[in-house]
Amino acid sequence: MRVRVDPVKCQGYAVCGEVAPRHFTFDDWGFAQAKPVDIDLESMGAVEEAIQVCPVRAIRRIL
């Protein structure tokens, strides 16, 4: 599984980067981007939490 951050919805709250720093990075303006890596079982919980706590629901799963 991978995730994608909708660049239109993201408001730069950076919660995803705090919860799952291995899977999110930020551009020069502070908006989140998902790193293009598969999510392993060890990181699955943190990524699921990042999806749930995103204030604007900008993160979605890609199978």
> Structural domain boundaries of the chain?
2-62
Mean pLDDT of the chain: 96
Check residue 2 and give its pLDDT.
95
Q: Please state which CATH number belongs to domain 2-62.
A: 3.30.70.20
Check residue 5 and give its pLDDT.
98
Percentage of the chain lying above the pLDDT 90 cut: 98
Per-residue burial over 10-48, b if 16 or more Cβ lie within 10 Å, else e, is beebebbbebbeebbeeeeeebbebeeeebeeebeebbb
Q: For 22-43, write each residue's pLDDT tens digit.
A: 999 999 999 999 999 999 999 9
pTM of the model: 0.90
